[in-house]
Structure 1
């Protein structure tokens, strides 16, 4: 995407959080009856809400109502809220004036919606998250090369072999954090008569986005990765395919008239937003994009510098631990977002991840990160361990992770663990598990 992706500014060696999340100061139990401050380095999977967004969503609760056809005052306000959020999302993601904004549940939902509208074959890279791999019914897979340059050459050859309607790529890998040159890929796709869609799930939390300037035709992202975990996502892009596609959801709100044997469907976005929308989730997504944009405005370059400093601290710290190696996809990748994945020379990353949580209060993720083809190609072992940072992360958080990781790799866990169908668990777990639903 066109943003501050080139020439990342020099980053300070130590950084504090840029913004407050609702989990700031959260304490979690660890084995032995102690409680410690939680370190959340699993933000690439799902991020807590920004504190200001959560407070604003709570204040909107009393005004919640159904939209578009209600005559009550709260219904009028809820309708205005959704449509204002639509305009905000369009502006914050750099949509063109004639682009359409369709609200969905998440990135996966948005890409599945787009898949119903593509009038032809789709070309994808093997680096994709499953959300941008599995929905495409007429899929042609391009296996990536050791460099981005070689991968784009392979993509060029594939597009030249026969026509395609769409190329779809990730903006930033959820495995390695490596950022793809979206402008170059858009130009390549257009030169072959194809459109470009971007899975921006990992890009939006870390970078400002300008869809129009990038040349991409469609963009999908999720609120839950962008500090608005209230169940809303979005597909933004050119309306012509979406206006003639079958309604993604068939139901009220998507139609102008229904008779016994005929249906007149609305154009987009109503065509694909049947039923009562997630009013509060949609508002939260818009509020979070506003808050991230305000960080750019109030302190230009600060978000990039913060992300760069923490990513460098993670990567350098991992490289300094014997028996651990980082995983990369492209030797020539020059831009990264705050994701570092590692492998162990010996032992189980799942066991280490469980011990990081149970003994140190540190959350990370172990596995193949719903990107099996990519991970299998670039990794030498079956699973990896991923640490990911965001605007609420500090250098102290990264230190806690690196210190705990080094100890676990050198000495092993301090407790016994058993492998269960749900993963590794302490054999004797004395951590309380209270019911959050009932208090």
Structure 2
């Protein structure tokens, strides 16, 4: 096997990949480069202080660094700084939209359009809202090769639809949504478009101006940053009209027992002491990833996915899911072997994959399987990881034969 972009291998920057270990679960969470680890340790140690409150020098410095992280996220997305809400991750971001914008703007008789491939985090918050507000949920089907069927979406959408919520990249199939097209369809009927960008942010250049969506959410830990922090981007006019969803310090203007007034967006959505350390780590991860280049990341991971699919297609006992040009993610099933069993045997071989429903149970039902095995790549992945996976699959086949 030969891979043109193999020079991108950067494993020596990742302490978590020490030893003969083949990590193929990046879609779940990415390993962290030393630059990010050092940044978080420094923020938690010699630089640590609270933000937005202290008048002493270190607190002022940490406040500047924290707000610089917000600016870094805005630059990473080609967005405005005052459109960036720092959350605990994409799950919280989507729940925030559901419980603020959704609760204020959606009512009985309104409709939401989701797709068959959505992560539970882009299904359950809308179901919870639907139970409270009487909103109806429609489901957009997929094309034969596992993409969101935008032609079907156009047929389904009506003026009753107030929100479309789609994944930019499927966490199971690796299929990529044409966000600009989806935005055009949603806006044509007066609906807003929310994009779950968890799998896209580490692999695709983000451009909120070009995408023309209304909300975009992702988690830092998918793009080589810390857990517990993420981003919600929303158009400024929409964000300004959204009520706060949690009360406490930092999100207020003035508090009396008679009345409380709130800070402007985005601060009014960030109650309490924020994830200071994690935000600085996220900013460093964005620096690190941008230095390599999102275009190179996309090409590298696409090439690895194509290579793995090509090798698996040579076997007559493997079923592949998703399109041939899947982005850094390959889901498959080995005939007669449950994915959990495959994952266990691969672990004995030093290969880490994800086995299960991947928080996408409706998609599993659509595919007609209880679970899949999923190999997902990062910038540190290389041909040796694929070779180890194939070797482990062959051993599993012999055991189950």
Q: Normalising by the residue count of structure 1, what TM-score does the alignment of the two structures yield? A: 0.82
SS for the counterpart of 1:165 is strand
Judge which range, 316-325 or 247-256, deviates more: 316-325
Judge which range, 65-74 or 16-25, deviates more: 16-25
Aligned counterpart in structure 2 of residue 314 of structure 1, from 308, 311, 320 = 308
Determine if contact 2:9/2:379 at 8 Å carries over to the other structure: yes
Closer, same or farther in 2 for the Cα pair 1:25/1:164, shift >3 Å?
closer
Closer, same or farther in 2 for the Cα pair 1:214/1:264, shift >3 Å?
same
4+ residue runs over 6 A deviation: none
Deviations 1:79-113 (A, max 9, x none): 10111111110011121x48510001111011111
Judge which range, 15-24 or 334-343, deviates more: 15-24
Give the equivalent residue in structure 2 for 1:183.
Answer: 180
Determine if contact 1:98/1:239 at 8 Å carries over to the other structure: no
Deviations 1:255-311 (A, max 9, x none): 111111211011211111010011111111121112211112xxx843233112211
1:401 aligns with 2:398: no
Aligned counterpart in structure 1 of residue 265 of structure 2, from 254, 263, 268 = 268
Deviation, 1:165, is: 2.2
Deviation, 1:240, is: 3.1
Aligned counterpart in structure 2 of residue 80 of structure 1, from 45, 51, 64 = 64
Deviation, 1:130, is: 0.6
Determine if contact 2:164/2:186 at 8 Å carries over to the other structure: yes
Deviation, 1:164, is: 2.3
Give the equivalent residue in structure 2 for 1:23.
Answer: 15
Aligned counterpart in structure 2 of residue 390 of structure 1, from 374, 378, 387 = 378
Closer, same or farther in 2 for the Cα pair 1:225/1:150, shift >3 Å?
closer
Give the equivalent residue in structure 2 for 1:158.
Answer: 156
Deviation, 1:122, is: 2.7
Q: How does 1:100-115 map to 2 (within 5 A)?
A: 100-115=83-98
Q: Normalising by the residue count of structure 2, what TM-score does the alignment of the two structures yield? A: 0.90
Q: Which runs of 5+ in 2 are unaligned?
A: 130-134
1:48 aligns with 2:31: yes
For 2:7 and 2:303, how far apart are their aligned partners in 1?
A: 7
For 2:82 and 2:252, how far apart are their aligned partners in 1?
A: 20
Q: How does 1:312-391 map to 2 (within 5 A)?
A: 312-328=306-322, 333=323, 335-357=325-347, 359-378=348-367, 380-391=368-379
Determine if contact 1:18/1:306 at 8 Å carries over to the other structure: no
Determine if contact 2:346/2:392 at 8 Å carries over to the other structure: yes
Closer, same or farther in 2 for the Cα pair 1:335/1:211, shift >3 Å?
farther
Give the equivalent residue in structure 2 for 1:244.
Answer: 241
SS for the counterpart of 1:282 is helix
Deviation, 1:238, is: 1.1
For 1:254 and 1:168, how far apart are their aligned partners in 2?
A: 27
Give the equivalent residue in structure 2 for 1:7.
Answer: none
SS for the counterpart of 2:228 is coil
Closer, same or farther in 2 for the Cα pair 1:301/1:277, shift >3 Å?
closer
Closer, same or farther in 2 for the Cα pair 1:301/1:67, shift >3 Å?
closer
SS for the counterpart of 2:114 is strand
Give the equivalent residue in structure 1 for 2:296.
Answer: 302
For 2:61 and 2:169, how far apart are their aligned partners in 1?
A: 36
Q: How does 1:403-422 map to 2 (within 5 A)?
A: 403-412=391-400
Judge which range, 56-65 or 101-110, deviates more: 56-65
Give the equivalent residue in structure 2 for 1:431.
Answer: none
Closer, same or farther in 2 for the Cα pair 1:159/1:98, shift >3 Å?
farther
For 2:232 and 2:289, how far apart are their aligned partners in 1?
A: 19
Deviation, 1:11, is: 6.3
Determine if contact 2:165/2:194 at 8 Å carries over to the other structure: yes
